[in-house]
Amino acid sequence: MAIKKINPPLIITPRVVPKFDNIELDETEIETAEDFRTEHFTLSELERACKIPDNLRPNALKLLENLQIIRTNIGKPISILSGYRDEALNIKVKGAQNSYHTKAMAADIRATDIAPKDLYAIIDKLIREKKLSEGGLGLYTRPNGWVHYDTRGFKARWTDY
Ligand SMILES: [Zn+2]
């Protein structure tokens, strides 16, 4: 007797109903949540020096999401040396005028066991592969160097040599 193929029974998985189903969270509310984090980063890591104003939060969240992509790709811890800077701090540390750090779009980073020049190359590759937002990428090779990455949206590359 031929085996007749029948469609499997439709299995209905009960949906988890949120407690406050009638409250719609729009993006703005999510972005202003105090506890925003990606798998490996929290917003507070970008605002160790200066508190990020509410209007710059979306920039900071986009930056964190991109840093998480780098983190996931390299599989090594990343430390954020400098994240958001207000104008006063930016002047104090002799940052570039209109630095993307003052827009919460930039981070100076270092990765465990990866030399800054290698981290720079990895990030550049991720951008070329369109896995990461296009932006500014700077290599600082001085002892204990670092990599600057920002999400300015257009390509900029520089090194300190
Ligand atoms: Zn920087």
Return all residues near 135 (Cβ < 8 A) that are at least 6 apart. Answer: 100, 105, 127, 149, 150, 151, 152, 153, 154, 155, 156
Give the pLDDT of residue 69: 98
Q: For all residues of the chain together, what is the average pLDDT?
A: 86
Starting at the earlier edge strand, list the strands of the sheet with 78-82: 78-82, 106-111, 146-150, 136-140, 156-159
- Give CA separation, 99 vs 83, 102, 103, 104, 151, in Å: 11, 6, 7, 9, 12
Residue ranges of domains in the chain: 45-159
Residues with CB under 5 A from ligand 1 (ion): 106, 108, 148
Which residue has better confidence, 143 or 100?
Answer: 100
Give me ligand 1 centre to Cα 50, in Å.
15
Give me ligand 1 centre to Cα 15, in Å.
45
Give me ligand 1 centre to Cα 142, in Å.
14
**Which is it for strands 156-159 and 136-140: parallel, antiparallel or unpaired?**
parallel
**Predicted confidence (pLDDT) per residue in 41-98, tens digit:** 999 999 999 999 999 999 999 999 999 999 999 999 999 999 999 999 999 999 999 9
Pairwise CA distance, residues 95 & 131, whole Å: 28
Reply yes or no on whether the pLDDT at 3 is more than 70.
no
Give me ligand 1 centre to Cα 13, in Å.
48
Give me ligand 1 centre to Cα 121, in Å.
16
Give me ligand 1 centre to Cα 108, in Å.
5
Give me ligand 1 centre to Cα 149, in Å.
7
- What element of type H or E holds 125? helix 116-128
Beta bridge partners of residue 37, listed in sequence order: 42
Residue 10 pLDDT grade (very low, low, confident, very high; cuts 50, 70, 90) = low
The domain 45-159 having CATH identifier 3.40.50.10890: the answer here is no
